[in-house]
Amino acid sequence: MKIAALVARLLLGLLFTVFGLNMFLHFIPTPPEPPGAAGQFATLLGSTHYILAAGAVMVISGVLLLIGRFIPLALTLLGPVLVNILLFHLLMAPGSIGMGLFATLLWFILFVRHRTAFAGIFQATLPQ
């Protein structure tokens, strides 16, 4: 499990660092806009600069994973990003969900490895 977690951490860190930096530097060629709602949504994300905030979260999390520091924080930051990626593909562009599923699998491998850091959020408490 240690080696799988190390490989997952490095792959996930590299994936989010590269794609997060691409949102600022545009070094990966941009594919044509998808048709329909997916294209409208992508255009809206770009025109409102929401994509830059998401890119910043991706870069910060990716770098934290690559250097191996604050891994639970990086996983916490990437959780909502992955949910948005999966929802976008499930609801608007299901044919291209593969990379999102792969990133989610890597995230779950790391989550299981660092589950003790998240133990407190899964404890039911009574209101005082």
Distance set, CA 98 to CA 16, 41, 77, 93, 121 (Å): 15, 19, 21, 11, 29
User: How confident is the model over 65-70, as a mean pLDDT?
Assistant: 97
Model confidence at 22: pLDDT above 90:
yes
Residue 32: which of 42, 23, 22, 19 has the closest Cα? 42
Q: Give the whole-angstrom CA distance, residue 67 versus residue 110.
A: 14
pTM above 0.85, yes or no: yes
Which region, left, alpha or beta, applies to residue 111 given φ > 0 means left and ψ of -120 to 50 means alpha? alpha
The radius of gyration of the chain's CA atoms, rounded to the nearest angstrom, is 16
Confidence at 127, pLDDT banded by 50, 70, 90: confident
Cα–Cα dist 112/119, whole Å: 11
